Chain A
Amino acid sequence: MPTPAPLIEMRGITKSFGAVKANEAVDLSVAPGEILGLLGENGAGKTTLMNVLFGAYAPDAGEILIQGQPVRITSSADALAAGIGMVHQHFHLAPRLTVLENLLIGIPGKSGRIDRAGGLARLAEIGRQHGLTLDPDLPVSTLSVGEQQRLEIVKALFRGAKLLILDEPTAVLAPSEVDGLFSALRSMAAQGLGIIFISHKLNEVRALTHRCTVLRHGRVAGRVDDPANTTSAAMAQLMCGHEIVPPARGPSTPGEAVLTLDAISTSTHSGTALRDVSLAVRSGEILGIAGVSGNGQRALAEVISGVRAPDAGRMTIAGQTVSRFSPREVQALGLGRIPEDRMTTGLVTNLPLADSMVLPRIGTAAFSSKGLLKPDAIRTFAEEQIKAYDIRCPGPMTRAGALSGGNLQKALLARELAFDPKVLIVSQPTRGLDIGAARFIHEKFLDMRAKGCGIIVIGEDLEELLVLCDRIAVMYEGRIAGTLDSADATIARLGLLMTGAEGHG
């Protein structure tokens, strides 16, 4: 495409936090009508760079030019005034307020009152231009995640953004919603907006962006001028600095069933209930659970982990029937669990990492005796795991919340695998992790599989499930809609099951 004068240009941006250089001499530019991919592993400096652009951080050196004019951006208000809008990974919305109220926040009113009519007109206009329609009077809490993201985009356009920054926008979307987002973004670019698309899903970057800037360790590692015709492997290599080979899942010889669910149903008390769910995982097998989120995956994970007792049905672990459904019981029977939300149910963010790493087994003889903790044993255990799993942290007494997502996930994995579980249940194992960390987690799963562990992976990333799993079961409205051998499974077939299109099998 032709290259008109850049809409925005960042020159030589450097930003340090203490001794750490988060950004060093980074140059970046976006032309009107251009979608720029910003790639990089976690900690590569993408978010810092965008926070500099959005006014949250002041750069130590470098300048920002908008349409050739140098500007100083010291607050988000400055950024908005300069025509920069940002859709954060965690939405900045007030759930109890309506769509329109969330749009009108910070907008001066008309003779002292909120300008409702003006707001409605502007919302309708944006809806017409880009196909982004929203009901203005619904409370945000009633919107789906995809709609909330649409609202964030509309919010930026509402304020007259000429440049839109999206921080990992597809991480929260179902495959069908991603298509809608992409067509809206293409429409905006076609009308002259500049877009910065942050992601580490390479296939999406290749499908959407016109150009890419790749960051590594805070510096520009390279640029890709034609992402559509560049291989994912080449881009991954730019991001990591070395070649990435997808893990090879060799043939396995599944043994006996280590976990069985027989006609499990739960009440509708919170979230989607399970309805008559039967499944079995054999040793040396990885079973994937696919499905659009909110179709009973959480209830399934809770039942298997012993957090929630089913109303009907039977569950066995390693041949033993689970009777009481307590986390301690299923754990004693040989179940390991890595929950979906690392920060809230995974570990205790304000306690030292070592404490979180022994928490599920704090009462066992290994870590306590006669009701007293064995601090040395706990510390030694944590130190061993930190070394074995290459968990990057200052030490076992570091506050767990200070670790990055990838290192937290490694810590949780270490905690479970140290006790050789017969069955492992994992939800969203690599959400928010970069390629290197995800690769490490996948390899560990395959190691465990080779050792005869049965693994259940609940996930929304179908490509990941296809690479990792021997069989994939699809959940739809609390039922198992179908189970496919991964040799027969394709994204299209899984996608069909996910929408409930195929019969209950």
Chain B
Amino acid sequence: MSAVLEQIFQVGFLAAIIRIATPLAFATLGEMFSERAGVLNLGIEGIMLLCAMTGFTATSLSGSLWLGVLVAVLTGMLMGALHALFTVALGLSQHVCGIGVTLFSSGLAYFLYRLIFGQQSVPPAIKGFQTLPIPVLSDIPVLGPAVFNQFALVYMVIIAIPLAAFVLYRTPWGLSVRMVGENPRAADSAGVSVIATRFQAVILGGALMGLAGAFLSMAQFNAFTFGVVSGRGWVAIALVVFGRWDPWRSAGAALLFAFVDALQLRMQASGLGHIPYEAFLMLPFIFTIVAMAVMSRNAVAPSALLKPFRREER
């Protein structure tokens, strides 16, 4: 056991946690914005996959990583707008439309990928993001190499978390988002457009999901495969509940999940070889289920979550 414990404090282990947490944190923040405005976005899994694909493709064709990121973000915003069109403008069931968006986006991602790259024996790869050590800070022992010698997208998420909290809690727009998610009628009677605010929040959420997808195919794996997301979107939905719809707590939840995931990877690699590796793979998900069961007892969702707003109804 001491060998396992020793590894926990290794620099590589800390860095792995941060890397695993990054796409989860982007996705969780995205889902959180959408849900705070009252819109559950079950399209997240498919949106992340499609964004991973479009970002990868754009980079692969143009050679520019940042153009790829931009394309992924725009794709996410577009799919967010699609989900908002169904659920906010038309007031349809958020569950049904979300699953529809996931199925559509996934199918579209596979289809376009095949169309563009054909069937190749060796999947095409790109030269993805490289680590970018931050001068001075990266020299801090342990923390420096783990946190400040990372991909640019990791730094972005580290900035995105306090920024999300600032926007949500300190700006008039953030207050509008929280209000339309709690009591849209109150927002409406105060002259705030519920429809516009929800659209904006869901589209912003889509953009963040796009960043999550871009990280997977352009920093973590440097290739697009059909299993590149593999449930991370669903996990993000659970993490939003775990994080009680708060940016800091949500990011913390992502970090905790990443810790368990990194731990199981190490356990697979370490001397516990007589246990089938699939058992370790289950760990983060068992953790998620247990955490959800414990936390969701006290979790209070935004009151207007899942409820479409129609002005004339009272």
Contact = CB atoms under 8 A, between A and B. Distances in A.
Contact of B191 (A56, A77, A86): A77
A101 B178 contact: yes
Interface residues of B, number: 23
Given A94-B178, A114-B172, A106 B183 contact: no
Given A107-B172, A113-B171, A96 B186 contact: no
B186 A102 contact: yes
B171 A105 contact: no
Interface residues of A, number: 29
A153 interface: no
B182 A86 contact: no
A381 B64 CA distance: 75
B191 A94 contact: no
A104 interface: yes
Contacts of A96: 182, 300, 302-303
Contact of A113 (B170, B176, B182, B300): B170
B189 interface: yes
A112 interface: yes
A505 interface: no
Contacts of B303: 94-96
Interface in A73-107: 75-77, 80-81, 86, 88, 91-97, 101-102, 104-107
Contact of B183 (A80, A92, A112): A92
B178 A106 contact: no
Nearest to B187: A105
A86 B303 CA distance: 23
A448 to B, nearest CB: 34
Contact of B182 (A81, A97, A106, A155): A97
Contacts of A109: 171-172
B175 interface: yes
A109 B176 CA distance: 12
B175 A114 contact: yes
A384 to B, nearest CB: 32
Contacts, number: 75
B176 A106 contact: yes
B197 to A, nearest CB: 10
B188 to A, nearest CB: 6
Interface in B256-299: none
B192 A105 contact: yes
Interface in B181-210: 182-183, 185-192
A155 B312 CA distance: 22
B171 A112 contact: yes
A108 interface: yes
Contacts of B183: 92-95
A92 B189 contact: yes
Contacts of A54: 189
Given A56-B311, A96-B303, A97-B182, A104 B191 contact: no
Contacts of B311: 56
A478 to B, nearest CB: 27
B185 A92 contact: yes
Contact of A76 (B174, B188, B300, B312): B188
Interface of A: 54, 56, 75-77, 80-81, 86, 88, 91-97, 101-102, 104-109, 112-114, 155, 159
- Nearest 7 A-B pairs (CB), nearest first? A77-B191, A94-B182, A106-B190, A92-B186, A109-B172, A94-B183, A106-B192
Given A95-B182, A102-B186, 19 more contacts: A56-B311, A76-B188, A81-B191, A91-B186, A92-B186, A92-B189, A94-B178, A96-B303, A105-B176, A105-B190, A106-B172, A106-B187, A106-B190, A107-B172, A109-B171, A113-B170, A114-B171, A114-B172, A155-B190
